[in-house]
Structure 1
Amino acid sequence: MSETTTATGAIESKSWEQTEYAPVPGAPALATAKGYDLYRGDLDGDADWQGLMFAGPDGSGTFHSLQRTRGTLGGRTGSFVLELNGTFAATGESRADWRIVPGSGTGDLAGITGTGGYESGGSSATYTLIYRLP
C-alpha cells in the first residue's frame, strides 16, 4: 500500500458564473454555478467546476459541486475529479470538504484516492489534499 501524502497551497478563482433557477418570491435562492480556478503549491494546475447552491435570506448558504482538476501532484501529471460540499457566508468567506471521486484519476494520477478541503477569506483560498497514489 502506498504512503499518505499531504499537499498544500493556494487557489485563485479566475472565473465564476451563477444562474438562479426555480425562483419563488421571498424564498431562499437556488442556483447553478460554474467556474475556473488555478492551483499553486504542491498541486500545480487548474480546474473547471460546476455545482448547485442554496443561499438563505442573510446571504449565507451551502454548495455541492464536482471539479475536474488537472496538473502535477507529487511529480506526477494527470487529472482527477473532486466532489465538494461546503458553506459560505454573506461576507465572502467559504470552506469546503472534498474527496477524490474513486476511479477518476487519469495519466500518472490513475488510482489516486484522497480527502481534504479549502478555506477562503474572500479573495484568497488555501487548500489541503491528503492523498495516496498506487
Structure 2
Amino acid sequence: MRANGTFSVKAFVPTELKPEPPVATGLPVGVATLEKHFEGEVAGRAATLFTAAYDQESGVGTYVAMESFEGSLHERSGAFNFVHSATTSGSDRSAEFFHIVPASGTGDLAGITGSGGLAVDADGTHRIWFEYELGGNDPGV
C-alpha cells in the first residue's frame, strides 16, 4: 500500500554531541533532535535523531535521520521506526535511502515493512510517502 502525507518540522534543536576523537574535515558533523507533525494518509508525529555533515551557505552535504513515528497510516494506528538519508550538492538530492525498520511496528502497524521517500515542493511543502505492507513477521504480533 502507499500512504501519502505532508509534514512540518515543529522543533529543530542542535545538540552538543560531537564525534570523538575529533577529526577535522571539510564539513563538520552535527547532531540535532527534531519533532515533526504529519497530515494526510500519514498522520501523527515523529521524534527524530538527525546527523549531518552540511554547509548551510552552499547547501552541500549529507544527512542521516532515524525517526520514531507515532500515529496512523490509512487510519491504522501504531508506531514504528524509519531511517532516511540523502546527499545534496546545493540544488538537488541524490543517493536517497528510505527504509522502515523491521520488527519496529506496534498496534495496528505491527509487522510493517517497506520503504518510502521525501520531497520538498518549490513552495516549501514537505511531502512524505510510505510504500508498505503489513504482515505477521513482527515478533510483537
Q: Report the identity percentage.
A: 28
Match in the other structure for 2:134: 133
Aligned residues, how many? 128
CA contact (8 A) 1:94 1:119 kept: no
Question: Under a length normalisation based on structure 1, what TM-score does the superposition of the two structures give?
Answer: 0.82
Structure 2: stretches of 5+ with no match in the other structure: 136-141
Structure 1 or 2: more strand by fraction: 1
1:37 is matched with which residue? 36
Query: Any conservation in 2 of the 1:94–1:120 contact (CA below 8 Å)?
Result: no
Relative contact order, CA 8 A, sep 6+: which one is greater? 1
Q: Is 1:11 the counterpart of 2:12 in the alignment?
A: no
Which deviations, in whole Å up to 9, do the C-alpha atoms of 1:52-93 show, x marking residues without a partner?
1112583311111210001011221100000111234657x7
Deviation at 1:18, TM superposition (A): 2.3
Deviations 1:21-68 (A, max 9, x none): 3474x7312101210001111011000000211125833111112100
The residue matched to 2:109 in structure 1 has which SS?
coil
What CA deviation, in whole Å up to 9, does each residue of 1:89-125 have, x standing for no partner? 657x768531110000011110001101101248421
Tell me the TM-score normalised to structure 2 length. Answer: 0.78
* C-alpha contact (below 8 Å) 1:30/1:55 kept by paired residues: yes
Secondary structure at 1:127 match in 2: strand
CA–CA distance in structure 1, aligned partners of residues 26 and 89 of structure 2? 18
Structure 1 unaligned runs (5+)? none
Q: Which runs of 4+ in 1 moved over 6 A?
A: none
